[in-house]
Amino acid sequence: MTVIPALKAMLDSIATQASLEGMSIEDQRKAGNDGAAALAAAVAEEPREVGTITEAQVEVDGGRITVRIYQPKHSGPHPIHLYYHGGGWMFGTIDDPFVDILCRERTALAGYVSVAVEYRLAPEHKFPIPFNDSYAALEWIAEHAAEFDGDPSRITVGGGSAGANLAAAVAIKARNENGPAITFQLLEVPALDLTASSPSVEKYGTGEYPLSRAELQTCLDGYLATPEDATNEYASPLLAQDLSGLPPAHIMPSEYDPLQDDGTRYADRLTAAGVQATLTVGIGHVHGSSQFTKLLPEAAAWRDEAIAHLIEHADGHAVTVHNTSKP
């Protein structure tokens, strides 16, 4: 299949946008956030109503980070979904309307207390700081779950792109250090091998589709403190020597995405390690198009699949093994 037809005009528009090259990192972030807000208004469904939305400060090494907590309208205790936003570890924010819409959906439709994590960004805060912040958020929500009508025995993690990288790495550290129990991980368009050695990086990173190899490399250079960090299991979960004992995972890469093979390779490695891992490749999708739920029926179907997996794992136990879907 080719790229979803409704995306073609949008890809042409993206290709003709002004370059951010030469702008300061602060100006790039502002431009990116403004662009995301405009894009969400055009292509994403309206935010769903939830019970309450509150914020809390989490103490981390060298500072504090914000978490935004979405609670369902009905009483709990509810399962908890910890969500890490994307943006190449250098960009993105919990204020992004796409993040807000997603967290509201997982609260309103799947019945979770959703927690969006504002980890500190590279290059000011290089690896392992964003990862350490992400793990600190897991420990904090496990300790404070009852304050938000959450059940600390039913914590799931998820994220998109760089956020999926953080979610997968958090699951590995929680296993390694006997940390808070994670019952499920939902990894969307995940970046899991920061050596960028997946074949899809060359195949789809040409610049014809969103996230060129050059853009990916800029993010890797910004995030990693040293080249050697790329092989650390908390930077590249796909390269971890031991993946046994991890929580069940559902992995959702896009077809026309340099990161496609990161997701498929991770599903294969988890399965080989005895972990329940299911995979759905978003046929016709590009990196990030899964959130265009107003524009694309295929994106709404992606969203519905993610919600279904969260509902399936809401009790903390895996129930059904689904067939994988590959192009």
The string of pLDDT tens digits covering residues 136-189 is 999 999 999 999 999 999 999 999 999 999 999 999 999 999 999 999 999 999
Of these ranges, 21-25, 195-199, 317-321, the one predicted with the greatest mean pLDDT is 195-199
Show the domain range for 241: 5-312
- Decide if 292 is inside a domain: yes
Residue that has been written with the tokens 């009483």 in this structure: 75
User: The CATH number of the domain where 156 resides is what?
Assistant: 3.40.50.1820
- Decide if 60 is inside a domain: yes
pLDDT score recorded for residue 321: 33
- Decide if 272 is inside a domain: yes
Higher local confidence (pLDDT), 310 or 326:
310
Q: Domain count for the chain, please give it.
A: 1
pLDDT tens by residue, 24-82: 999 999 999 999 999 999 999 999 999 999 999 999 999 999 999 999 999 989 999 99
Considering the candidates 114, 134, 161, 200, report the single residue annotated as catalytic.
161
Strands 249-252 and 78-84 come out as unpaired
Which residue(s) pair with 325 in the sheet? 280
- Decide if 84 is inside a domain: yes
pLDDT score recorded for residue 31: 92
Angle between helices 129-144 and 162-176 (to 10 degrees): 60
pLDDT score of 4 more than 90:
yes
Give the Cα separation of 262 and 249 in Å (integer). 14
Considering the candidates 78, 285, 287, 309, report the single residue annotated as catalytic.
287
- Decide if 279 is inside a domain: yes
Q: Is 287 a catalytic residue?
A: yes
pLDDT score of 116 more than 60:
yes
- Decide if 207 is inside a domain: yes
Give CA separation, 85 vs 29, 51, 92, 196, in Å.
14, 22, 7, 20
pLDDT tens by residue, 178-223: 999 999 999 999 999 999 999 999 999 999 999 999 999 999 999 9
Give the dihedral sign, CA 259/265/269/272. positive
Give the dihedral sign, CA 120/33/169/300. positive
Helix, strand or coil, per DSSP, at residue 236: coil
- Look over the chain and give the mean of its residue pLDDT values, rounded to a whole number: 93
Give the Cα separation of 223 and 272 in Å (integer). 29
Q: Residue 11 corresponds to which tokens in the numbers above?
A: 């890809």
Q: Tell me the one-letter amino acid at 100.
A: D
Give the Cα separation of 42 and 23 in Å (integer). 26
Q: Residue 136 corresponds to which tokens in the numbers above?
A: 């600190």
Q: Is 149 a catalytic residue?
A: no
Give the Cα separation of 79 and 141 in Å (integer). 11
- Decide if 168 is inside a domain: yes
Q: What is the pTM of this model?
A: 0.95
Considering the candidates 100, 149, 151, 257, report the single residue annotated as catalytic.
257
